[in-house]
């Protein structure tokens, strides 16, 4: 299969929001490869079964996807791009079921929490399920009386369910950010971002010294996250994203400066920054 039909690994069932991110980034020609867990994404790309991996790293409401971040330190794949996906939850059921028939709704606990006010207004019982697309798939395969699912519109299409209501999330500003992972380098496109992981010496001012290397060169910090080092209790890894490309003179100087203060530095990649488009959508369930 040619690169014109890239195989892209993602975690979840067909119809998952991660598959929607694959479609958004690569178009309809992409071949999605479902994986059971995040680590399988890295394995599929590393052994050549997939050209790329689509890894969710943070949600604008729920925060960092911690298991995904922890895997970035263990693997040598490079970040090729970032994707920002607008998460739009749909209420769906088997054909012939109306909204008035629904008493119970199945979905992942995060999706249920993001639709809490809407579900309360409808007077339906939320039922926790392992996955949004999995809830849609299993409901289609084994319909239950008075039961619906919350998932993406892509999941409804994949499993033949009817969408009873769109945009049932309580807040409009629900976005998930993904890294596109690959084995090689990517061509430069501006504006760019660079992502790094580093550790500091356990001395006063060590973190400030590293961040000052960015500030001195007017490199804008867009994210910082700390995670425990698994081999050294009470020591931490820092994940940092900042604007700029590692080919830039300022970025190269900053990375050299960071090396003077850090005990470990890993560059995850420089990649095109995703544009954030915000559309205020109204639920098709009466507010």
**Is 284 labeled as catalytic in the residue annotation?**
no
pLDDT value of residue 285: 61
Residue 286 above 60 pLDDT?
Answer: no
Structure tokens given for 4: 């014109």
Two tokens, residue 232: 């050294």
Catalytic residue, from 147, 176, 194, 199: name it.
176
The residue-averaged pLDDT of 19-44 equals 96
Residue 277 confidence (pLDDT) above 60: no
Return the exposure string of 187-211: e unless at least 16 CB atoms fall within 10 Å of the residue's CB, then b.
eeeeebbbbbbbbbeeeeeebebbb
Domains of the chain: 7-87+175-182 (3.40.190.10), 90-166 (3.40.190.10), 192-272 (3.30.70.260)
* pLDDT tens readout for residues 185-233: 888 889 999 999 999 988 899 999 999 999 999 999 999 999 998 888 8
How far apart, in whole angstroms, are the C-alpha atoms of residue 253 and residue 245?
A: 12
Whether the per-residue pLDDT at 26 is higher than 70: the answer is: yes
Q: Which of 42, 178, 179, 242 is catalytic?
A: 178
Active site residue 186: no
Residue 42, by phi and psi: left (phi above 0), alpha (psi -120 to 50) or beta?
Answer: alpha
pLDDT in tens, 241-271: 999 999 999 999 999 999 999 999 999 999 9
Share of the chain above pLDDT 70, in %: 95
Residue 3: the pLDDT is 61
β-strand pairing of 7-11 with 31-35: parallel
- All residues at 6 or more sequence positions from 281 whose CB lies less than 8 Å from its CB, including other chains: 88, 166, 167, 172
Please state the rounded mean pLDDT for residues 153-180. Answer: 95
């Amino acid at each position: 299969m040619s690169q014109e039909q890239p195989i892209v690994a993602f975690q979840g069932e067909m119809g998952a929001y991660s598959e929607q991110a694959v479609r958004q980034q690569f178009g309809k020609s992409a071949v999605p490869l479902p994986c059971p867990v995040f680590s399988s994404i890295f394995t599929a790309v590393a052994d050549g079964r997939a050209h790329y991996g689509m890894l969710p790293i943070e949600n604008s409401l729920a925060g960092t996807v911690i298991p995904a971040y922890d895997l970035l330190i263990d693997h040598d794949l490079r970040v090729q791009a970032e994707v920002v996906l607008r998460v739009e939850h749909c209420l769906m059921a088997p054909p012939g079921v109306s909204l008035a028939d629904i008493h119970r709704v199945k979905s992942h606990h995060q999706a249920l929490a993001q639709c809490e006010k809407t579900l309360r207004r409808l007077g339906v019982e939320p039922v926790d399920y392992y996955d949004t697309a999995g809830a849609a798939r299993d409901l289609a395969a084994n319909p239950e009386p008075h039961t619906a699912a919350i998932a993406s519109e892509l999941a409804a299409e994949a499993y033949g369910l009817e969408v009873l209501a769109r945009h049932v999330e309580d807040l409009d500003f629900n976005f998930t950010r993904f890294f596109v992972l690959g084995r090689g380098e990517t061509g430069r496109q501006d504006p760019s971002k660079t992502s790094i992981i580093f550790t500091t010496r356990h001395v006063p001012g060590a973190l400030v010294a590293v961040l000052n290397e960015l500030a001195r060169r007017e490199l804008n910090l867009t994210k910082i996250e700390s995670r425990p080092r698994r081999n050294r209790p009470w020591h931490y890894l820092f994940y940092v994203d900042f604007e700029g490309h590692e080919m830039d003179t300022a970025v190269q100087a900053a990375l050299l400066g960071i090396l003077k203060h850090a005990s470990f530095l890993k560059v995850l990649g420089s990649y095109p920054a995703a544009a954030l488009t915000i559309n205020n959508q109204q639920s098709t369930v009466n507010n």
